[in-house]
Amino acid sequence: MAIRNGNTSCPPEWRELSPMECYKIMTNPTDGLVWSTAQEYCGYSMSNLIVIPTEAIFTVIQVNVSVEKFWIGLNDIETENTIEWIDDTTLYPNSKLQTSSISETNDCVIQDTTKANWEFRHCTREKFSFVCQRKKVGETKFFRIPEAVDKDNFEPVSLRWVIILSIGGGILLIILSTIFYCWIRRKNAQRIRSENNRHQANYRPGTSSSGRRGNNSAARNSSAQDRDSSISMRDTDTTSLPPSYEEAQLHHYITKLT
């Protein structure tokens, strides 16, 4: 949101911060405000929480602000340890930031004039006065209040992604295993069909192994019968022939003796 200011000098109760900027210390309410409410309050005055990008501006504020501690626009609300101003810029005098005050729960910054440094404080549990800043002329852009990352739900979100990826990987593994199993079954079926076709090619209708064994046995029996018949015929043929001369003489000799 842009806020217009047609004056060429700072409004009443505002002091010059630079040739183009004005600032005002807000001490009402006297007990202060939390950081986000302080930024909203600055918006009502066509301004934002102060941005202090240089050592020179830091010195101006340090010398001229009468309160000891007040909110400024520096924070790491959106991303932990990514420190930036309310206008999303990151330039500031690093030597002024007390790094020991940085923590996961303290995301907003105050300036402590008694120590001449900046400290991180809890954005919603602590209240301080604050300094607002606006342009002398032209438009003053009102900056949005950063949205805090829910740190308590950060890990579960990551865990959900791990669970989703694990389930997806498991489903993919099941699909691949099923495809491999079907492929093995198909190969086995093809092998069985191939063997059956080979057996059928060697098979002669009307015969079987037992039939062939029976036929072979019958053939052997028939051959034996043929051999016996041949021997019998030879014996028959031998007895029907007339006796030889020697047989006749032997027969005659035996007859005389008897």
Q: What is the largest CA-CA distance in the chain?
A: 187
What span, in angstroms and rounded, lies between the C-alpha atoms of 4 and 40?
A: 17
Please compute the mean of the pLDDT values over residues 83-109 and round it to a whole number. 92
φ/ψ of residue 74, rounded to 5: -85, 140
Under the phi-then-psi rule, with left for phi > 0, alpha for psi from -120 to 50, and beta for the rest, what region is 25? beta
Helices (H), 47-147: 55-64
The pLDDT of residue 2 is 41
Tokens of 80: 């932990």
Mapping DSSP to helix (H, G, I), strand (E, B) and coil, where does residue 252 land? helix
- Residue 206 confidence class, pLDDT cut points 50, 70, 90: low
CATH fold of 2-149 reads Mannose-Binding Protein A; Chain A (3.10.100)
pLDDT above 50 for 189: yes
Residue with the larger pLDDT of the pair 177 and 150: 177
Categorize the per-residue pLDDT at 1 as very low, low, confident or very high, splitting at 50, 70 and 90. Answer: very low
Locate the domains of the chain by residue range.
Answer: 2-149, 150-192
The band of 193, judged by pLDDT with boundaries at 50, 70 and 90, is: confident
For residue 100, pLDDT beyond 70:
yes
Look up the pTM and report it: 0.56
2 vs 207, residue with greater confidence: 207
Q: What is the pLDDT of residue 138?
A: 82
Q: Is 130 helix (H, G, I), strand (E, B) or coil?
A: strand
| Residue 219 confidence class, pLDDT cut points 50, 70, 90 | low
Chain segment 128-139, per-residue pLDDT in tens: 999 999 999 888
pLDDT tens-digit map of 45-61: 999 999 999 999 999 99
Segment 136-152 mean pLDDT = 81
Give me the mean pLDDT over the 29-35 stretch: 94
**19: number of Cβ within 10 Å:** 6
Q: What is the predicted pLDDT for the residue at 254?
A: 73
